[in-house]
Amino acid sequence: MMMTNTPRQPLLPASQGETTLGVLGGGQLGRMFVHAAQQMGYFTAVLDPDPTSPAGRVSHHHIQTDYLDPQGLAELSRLCSAVTTEFENVPAQALATLAEQLPVAPAASAVSIAQDRAREKAHFVRCGVPCAPYAVIETEAQLAALDDAALLPGILKTARMGYDGKGQVRVKTRAELAAAWQGLKQVPCVLEKMLPLAAECSVIVARDAAGQQVNFPVQRNLHRDGILAVTEVFEGNVSAAVAAQAVAAARSVAQGLDYVGVLCVEFFVLQDGSLVVNEIAPRPHNSGHYTIDACDLSQFDLQVRAMVGLPLVQPRLHSPTIMLNLLGDLWFEPGGDQQRTPAWDRILALPGAHLHLYGKLDAKRGRKMGHLNFTGPSPEAVREQALQAAAILGIAPF
């Protein structure tokens, strides 16, 4: 029988023995979840096939197996009192299997929607949240029936397994669209109309099984090559009207999913000032990493609280903040393959610098290796220090 999303009574850290919380996925999001859970007194277990996974290396238990391995899932169920996920492409079936034995948050039903762009778009429509005009392409007939004027130029995206700009092709004409779909092996796709963008932003909400929701402030984001580069959070980073609309839309999306856990909803701000939703991530998010240093509760604290049934308290931003994403490119000499160690000593000499490295043993270009948060007394002061750091590291100014 399927369990409820969270326990009927809060799961407290045990005074004798251990209360263990599990996470599917061993990346940096799992690592930061493990740190938050351990700080609160919980033991942790990670299921991830990588023997050097960042989360597995700091957890009490590391089950090194595939996400759908029956024995691995049985061992995770035996060890844990509740389970979450740190990666949206963990098979939803693994969550469903675990939910037969213990509380799982978020539920497989919510994660499966986030894993499929077509279902995700349909969910936005059901929630009354505006998104870009789109069409689902699964057959030649659907491709032939497209309204060119309404959807082109556009972006063709694979319906499944796309993240950080992967599985996406920009197309201007029907011929380019047909060629792009052929290049993507004619897998199910979604074509979205390209809209005139002014900015990108996101909202992170946490919701419990009783329907209570809290949220962090709206995050203004800058992406480069499809990967988040910079997040800025302070009063006035977006207009009050956009902020209110984004928070309301994010809460509506979470409510419609009957979501339990931490959810990120990403938006586009158009040049006319209107807002459209882009996509959701059923987990903590890169754009929320600043919460570790700039808020009284982090997104990972709320992830723990939601899954164990502890009270969700509205988090407070206590400092203006900017986050810089640290990709593996920074470990290479400009224009070459020679590796180097970034000048962390110079970075940590800057006021308000908070360095977070993820314990990954191999730096690769485009790989997320860490992030750098800056906090300070004003947006101007934070920006000055962040730009100095960017210049030291070789990150393009913003």
By the 8 A CB rule, do 81 and 310 touch?
A: no
Q: Which two tokens stand for residue 60?
A: 């009490």
Q: Which amino acid is at 111?
A: V
By the 8 A CB rule, do 247 and 239 touch?
A: no
For 28, other C-beta atoms within 10 Å of its C-beta total 24
- What's residue 47's pLDDT? 98
Residues 199-255 have pLDDT tens digits of 999 999 999 999 999 999 999 999 999 899 999 999 999 999 999 999 999 999 999
Tell me how far CA of residue 17 lies from CA of 43, 79, 304, 320, in angstroms.
10, 12, 19, 41
Torsion of CA 235, 241, 244, 245, to 10 degrees: -140
CATH superfamily of this structure's domain 133-193: ATP-grasp fold, A domain (3.30.1490.20)
- What's residue 1's pLDDT? 45
Note down pLDDT in tens along the chain; length 398 residues.
Answer: 455 566 668 999 986 778 999 999 999 999 999 999 999 999 999 999 999 999 999 999 999 999 999 999 999 999 999 999 999 889 999 999 999 999 999 999 999 999 999 999 999 999 999 999 999 999 999 999 999 899 999 999 999 976 666 789 999 999 999 999 999 999 999 999 999 999 999 999 999 999 999 999 999 999 999 899 999 999 999 999 999 999 999 999 999 999 999 999 999 999 999 999 999 999 999 999 999 999 999 999 999 999 999 999 999 999 999 999 999 999 999 888 899 999 999 999 999 999 999 999 999 999 999 999 999 999 999 999 999 999 999 999 99
| CATH of range 197-393; options 3.20.20.80, 3.30.470.20, 3.50.50.60, 3.30.60.50 | 3.30.470.20
Does the reported pTM lie above 0.85? Answer: yes
Distance (Å, whole) CA 366 – CA 395 = 13
Burial class (CB in 10 A: 0-12, 13-18, 19+), 278: middle
Q: For the chain, which residues make up each domain, given as ranges?
A: 20-104, 133-193, 197-393
Sheet with 189-193, strands from edge to edge, namely: 134-137, 189-193, 154-158, 168-171
Using alpha carbons, select from 190, 185, 138, 149 the residue that is nearest to residue 168. Answer: 190
- Cis? peptide before 153, omega within 30° of 0: yes
Distance (Å, whole) CA 190 – CA 43 = 41
- What's residue 6's pLDDT? 63
Q: Which amino acid is at 128?
A: G
Architecture of domain 20-104: 3-Layer(aba) Sandwich (3.40)
- What's residue 17's pLDDT? 73
The 8 Å CB, 24+ separation contacts for 71-76 are 72/47, 73/47, 73/97, 73/98, 76/22, 76/24, 76/45, 76/47
Check residue 127 and give left, alpha or beta (phi > 0: left; psi -120 to 50: alpha): alpha
For 337, other C-beta atoms within 10 Å of its C-beta total 7
